Structure formats: structure tokens, C-alpha cells
């Protein structure tokens, strides 16, 4: 059975046991009142047992209240609540035990008072005392018997709750391990991504540098080619100007020379 089912069964047993105990105590109170009415003893039985019956009823009511709490929290009852309810049951058993002791005390007290009574009355007093203690003992036995199965049910409920807590703990550890593994995988993925980005950035940088170098080298080559062309052009122009100058100089010299001498006739 699951922990919830064991708690529900425990609550039902508490309800049954407390209802029976309340009935037995009410019956005992009625029998004591009837006894007093019939026997008219100096030691009133109802008054003698009143405090014990009130205490027993109070402990039964406390256990009943714990049963109601268990009913409200049957799906998530704590081990502490079940332990507290078990403590209330112990109080019920203790109060019923005290009630039984009161019965024995009353028996002894009535017998003591019979010693001073007339011989003919002694037997009647002893019988009366025995009947009172008999009422009390019968009530104690019936009430305790009604709670007897509760002990086993408390043990079953506590065991189920302990197993549930253990399973929950194991599950929590398993989930933690999975989360740690996933976190580790995520961390590795981030590191790999970082390395990839850094590597890619490095490749881009190298490519840019290479392109820049190629561009620089190309520009330098173009500069050299342009410079050579300009130099060649300058040399060509210079040579042409020099040749033109020479031609012009020659032409001027030719123009300045006198025309062919005229030889006079002798």
C-alpha cells in the first residue's frame, strides 16, 4: 500500500477506536450513576471516578482531533504529524490505565469501610465494590481492545512514510546527478563554441593581414611600375628635347652662314 493509503486506513482506525471509547466511557458513567442510585453508599462512585472519566474523554478527543488532521492531509501527511497522533494514543491508554487503577482503589476503600459495618452488611458492600470495579475493568478492556489494532496501523503508516521519504531522496539525488551532467555538457559546449569563435576570429585576422599584405605589395608594385613609366617618359622627353635643340641649333647655324660666295669675273 502507498503512504497515502496507509494514512487513510490509520485515520479510519482512529475514528472507529475513539467513537467506541467515547461510547464505553459514557456507558460507564451511566452505570456508576445507576449504582449510586441503587446502593446509596457513603462513597459516591460517580464523584470518585468523575476526574478519571473526564481525563480519559479529553485524551480521546485529542486523538480524534489528530485523526481529523490526518484526514485533511492524507495525501501529504508528515512523519511528525503521525508521531504526534501516536503520542495522543499513548495518552489515551495512560488515562484508561489510571481509570482502572481508580477502580481498584474504590474497591479497597469500600471494603475498608465494610469492616466497621454490621456483619450482615459486609457481604453486600463487598459485592457492590466488586461490581463497580467490574464496570471499570470492562470499560478499560473494551476501550483498549478497540485501540489495539491502531498500534500496528501506526507502525505500517510510519514505515510507508519512511519508504516514501527514502524514494524521494533517491530521486532527488538522481535528478541532481542529471542536472550536474547536463551542466557539464553545457559548459563543454560553451568552451567548444568559444574555441571555435576564437579560431575563426584568428583565421579571419590572418586572412585580413594576408589580404592587406597582398594589397600593400600590389600597391608597391604598381608604384614601382608607375615610377618606371614616368622615368622612361621623362627620359624620352629629355632625349627628344635634346634632339630638337640640336636640330634647331644646326638650322640656325646654317641660316647664319653667307650664301655661296660669287666669284667675280677677272
Specify if 208 maps to a domain: no
**Phi, psi (deg, nearest 5) at residue 261:** -55, 140
Domains in the chain: how many in total?
1
Give me the residue label for grid cell 521519504.
165
| Within-domain flag for 116 | yes
The phi, psi pair for 263, rounded to 5°, reads -90, 115
Confidence of residue 83 (pLDDT cuts 50, 70, 90): very high
Residue-range definition of the domain harbouring residue 58: 3-182
Model confidence, pTM:
0.59
Element holding 261 (H helix, E strand): none
What is the phi/psi pair of residue 258, to 5°?
A: -65, 150
C-alpha cell at 220: 608597391
Phi, psi of 40 (to 5 degrees): 50, 45
Residue 216 reports pLDDT greater than 70: no
Tens digit of pLDDT for each residue in 19-54? 999 999 999 999 999 988 888 888 899 999 999 999
Give residue-wise pLDDT tens across range 149-164.
898 999 999 999 999 8
Would you say residue 172 has pLDDT above 50?
yes
Task: Examine the pLDDT at 71 and tell me if it is beyond 50.
Answer: yes
Cα pseudo-dihedral 106, 108, 114, 119, rounded to 10: 130
User: Residue 203: inside a domain, yes or no?
Assistant: no
Indicate if the pLDDT at residue 63 is higher than 80: yes
Domain assignment present for 204: no
- Indicate if the pLDDT at residue 75 is higher than 50: yes
**Residue 64 domain flag:** yes
DSSP state of 115: T
3-state helix, strand, coil in the chain (%, to 5): 90, 0, 10
- Please report whether residue 88 resides in a domain: yes
Inside any domain, residue 54: yes
Q: Determine the Cα–Cα distance for residues 115 and 97; give it in Å rounded to an integer.
A: 28
- The answer to whether residue 147 is domain-embedded is yes
Q: Is the pLDDT of residue 245 over 60?
A: no
Category of 34 on φ-ψ map: left (φ > 0), alpha (ψ -120 to 50) or beta = alpha
The terminus-to-terminus CA distance of the chain in angstroms comes to 169
Residue 214: is its pLDDT beyond 90?
no
- In terms of C-beta density within 10 A (0-12 exposed, 13-18 middle, 19 or more buried), how is residue 132 classed? buried
Contacts of 230 (CB under 8 A, 6+ apart): none
Query: What's the CA gap between 145 and 21, in Å, rounded?
Result: 10
Amino acid at each position: 500500500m502507498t503512504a497515502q493509503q496507509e494514512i487513510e486506513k490509520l485515520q479510519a482506525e482512529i475514528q472507529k477506536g475513539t467513537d467506541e471509547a467515547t461510547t464505553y466511557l459514557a456507558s460507564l458513567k451511566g452505570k456508576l450513576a445507576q449504582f449510586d442510585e441503587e446502593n446509596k453508599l457513603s462513597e459516591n462512585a460517580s464523584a470518585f471516578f468523575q476526574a478519571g472519566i473526564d481525563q480519559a474523554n479529553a485524551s480521546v478527543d485529542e486523538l480524534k482531533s489528530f485523526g481529523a488532521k490526518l484526514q485533511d492531509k492524507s495525501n501529504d501527511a508528515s512523519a511528525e504529524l503521525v508521531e504526534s497522533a501516536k503520542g495522543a494514543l499513548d495518552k489515551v491508554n495512560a488515562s484508561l490505565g489510571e481509570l482502572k487503577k481508580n477502580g481498584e482503589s474504590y474497591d479497597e476503600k469500600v471494603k475498608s469501610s465494610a469492616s466497621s459495618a454490621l456483619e450482615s452488611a459486609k457481604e453486600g458492600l463487598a459485592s457492590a465494590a466488586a461490581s463497580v470495579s467490574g464496570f471499570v475493568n470492562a470499560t478499560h478492556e473494551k476501550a483498549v481492545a478497540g485501540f489495539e489494532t491502531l498500534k500496528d496501523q501506526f507502525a505500517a503508516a510510519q514505515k510507508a512514510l519512511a519508504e516514501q521519504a527514502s524514494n524521494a531522496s533517491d530521486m532527488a539525488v538522481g535528478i541532481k546527478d542529471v542536472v550536474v551532467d547536463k551542466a557539464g555538457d553545457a559548459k563543454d559546449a560553451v568552451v567548444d563554441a568559444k574555441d571555435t569563435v576564437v579560431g575563426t576570429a584568428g583565421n579571419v585576422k590572418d586572412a585580413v593581414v594576408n589580404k592587406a599584405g597582398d594589397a600593400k605589395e600590389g600597391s608597391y608594385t604598381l608604384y614601382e611600375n608607375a615610377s618606371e613609366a614616368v622615368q622612361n617618359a621623362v627620359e624620352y622627353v629629355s632625349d627628344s628635347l635634346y634632339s630638337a635643340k640640336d636640330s634647331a641649333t644646326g638650322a640656325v647655324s646654317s641660316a647664319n652662314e653667307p650664301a655661296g660666295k660669287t666669284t667675280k669675273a677677272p
